[in-house]
Chains A and B, each alone.
Chain A
Amino acid sequence: MSWISKTFTSSIGRKIIMSLSGLFLCTFLVVHLIGNLQLFKHDGGAAFNTYSHFMGTNPIIRTIEWGLVLGFGFHIYEALMLTRRNKAARGSQGYVSNHSEQNSEWTSRNMGILGTIILIFLIVHLYNFFWRARFAGDIPKMGGADPLTRDYDNLYMAVVDSFHIWWYVLLYVAAQISLGYHLWHGFRSGFQTLGLNHRKYTPAIKYIGYAFAVLVSAGFASMPLYFFLFTNAQGELAANASAVLQSVAAAF
């Protein structure tokens, strides 16, 4: 084995790949979230569909997309390899009494489970939007008078439709909660793995990580909840939206 493959199959080497891919995925989340905020524009999906068309066809974006595939690929592969290694290291005879909750956070001990929930969501999510748009081609076109946008996929309506299916909304929200917990630990952990631990910066990284985890997961979760609760089948504000809002507010 060459020194390079030895480095990256060692325990620390694998952790470095885990961390670099995880932090790279964090930058992807930011772009994805900001782009998706256009769902809230209430323009019948014009902005969102134009953006989606750009993301799906621009050659630069299509190239970066491969980086994303690799990022997920490496992250999931290394998660598997490390989890296997760590399970073997722990051994088959467990403790009769183990109070790990007294010495560590729940999220940090359950990254694999949280990641698996994210993975299940990811597969459903990719099939529902990415696969149908890119490969199946069964998403209706926007139509309308504008010759520029007429032939764009109406992904906006695909989103609105999905976000009126209760189990899809539930899966989406559960996945975002998992993502939030994953990042609660993962963001800070990624820096530590890279050796970036310094008494000046580590406390800041910790709180930025917490804020990042909450903002990103709440941001993504707000979309299905908004469309499910407050809009009609066309994605327009439902007639009873303010009444629903009041009863939601009253529930708290």
Chain B
Amino acid sequence: MAGSNPNAKPMNLTLKVWRQPNRQAQGKIVDYQVKDISPDMSFLEMLDVLNEDLLRGGQDPVAFDHDCREGICGSCDLFINGRSHGPEKGTTTCQLHMRKFSDGDTITIEPWRASSFPVNKDLSVDRSAFDRIIQAGGYVSVNTGGAPDGNEIPIPKEISDRAFEAATCIGCGACVAACKNASAMLFVSAKVSQLALLPQGQVERKTRVENMVAQMDKEGFGACTNIGSCAAECPVGISLENIAILNREFLAAKASSNNLA
């Protein structure tokens, strides 16, 4: 099954696509037929074909988010056949290939759903709530001056590996989209544990977690009940262990920070 097959035949598919003219409008599912889809196309290329057909017919193309198309930017936020980024494990939508589907399939395509992720148009979603959470504390302050020597700060290999694992989060929001509670805790925990593990993150360690969690709550994301859909759908495999670290960091910061407010 897996792998490109030069003899694979082009596919004809039925798409059930969420169409919504703007933020305020009511949306609905609209059926489309796409023909001669190569199994080697990515899912987004298949949508490009649909849009070319629509444009040729004088119709409004389907708006969807995408940028890098190589699995690193996290833009391609599509809920496909009831799963974040489709049924394939560990992939973004742009890395999902049409060979994972069969000729004659019906595919349902919806935008991420969450109160904090309003739909801009069709499948395009406003994920700026994530940006505001990062702005609240997901950074380290760096002094100006000469560049420090790369190996000046010793970091054990095991610690740097774990920090890098957490740092692979691409901010796609698949975790929120899949979660019954629309909780953003996997996303927040990835950034909090990445920076809490590293020496560079120590200066802002307590204010970071306090402010990021406060912003996460303010944006209206839900509270984790350890269901695990997030980690199962995360394209880069951020683990639930990070949420445990987030909870520890939060409690420790609340108990010991000088912040009385």
Contact = CB atoms under 8 A, between A and B. Distances in A.
Contacts of B115: 88-91
Nearest to B242: A197
Contacts of B240: 192, 197
B219 to A, nearest CB: 9
B127 to A, nearest CB: 14
A7 B257 CA distance: 12
User: At the interface, is chain B mostly helix, strand, loop or mixed?
Assistant: mixed
B182 interface: yes
Interface residues of B, number: 51
Please classify the interface of chain A as helix (H, G, I), strand (E, B), loop, or mixed, using the class held by over half of its residues: helix
A3 interface: yes
A10 B215 CA distance: 10
A63 interface: no
B232 A86 contact: no
Contact of B233 (A93, A103, A109): A103
A13 B180 CA distance: 19
A188 B227 CA distance: 11
Contacts of A192: 226, 240, 243-244
A165 to B, nearest CB: 35
A17 to B, nearest CB: 11
Interface string B174-214: 00001011110100000000000000000000000000011
B114 A85 contact: no
A64 B217 CA distance: 35
B54 interface: no
A196 B116 CA distance: 29
Contact of B18 (A13, A96, A189): A96
Given A10-B214, A195-B245, A86 B108 contact: no
A89 B220 CA distance: 6
B133 interface: no
Given A3-B261, A89-B181, A96-B18, A109 B227 contact: yes
- A interface residue count range (under 10 / 10 to 19 / 20 to 34 / 35 or more): 35 or more
A108 B246 CA distance: 20
A42 to B, nearest CB: 43
A16 interface: yes
A30 to B, nearest CB: 22
B117 to A, nearest CB: 9
A86 B181 contact: yes
Contacts of B87: 99, 102
A15 interface: yes
Interface stretch (B65-73, B76-84, B163-171): B76-84
A225 B171 CA distance: 52
B180 A10 contact: no
A86 B180 contact: yes
A193 B251 contact: no
Contact of B225 (A98, A100, A108): A108
Nearest to A192: B226
A185 interface: yes
Given A88-B220, A192-B244, A108 B113 contact: no
A193 B248 CA distance: 9
Contacts of A96: 16, 18, 29, 108, 110
Nearest to A90: B182
Contacts of A111: 225
Contacts of B81: 97, 99
Given A11-B216, A15-B223, A109-B180, A103 B228 contact: yes
Q: Which 3 A-B pairs have the closest CB atoms?
A: A197-B244, A99-B82, A195-B248
8 contacts: A2-B260, A6-B261, A11-B222, A94-B113, A96-B18, A96-B110, A194-B247, A197-B245
Interface of B: 16, 18, 27, 29, 79, 81-83, 87, 108, 110, 113-116, 178, 180-183, 185, 213-214, 216-217, 220-229, 232-233, 240-241, 243-248, 250-251, 254, 259-261
Interface of A: 2-3, 6-7, 10-16, 82, 85-86, 88-91, 93-100, 102-105, 108-109, 111, 185, 188-189, 192-197, 199
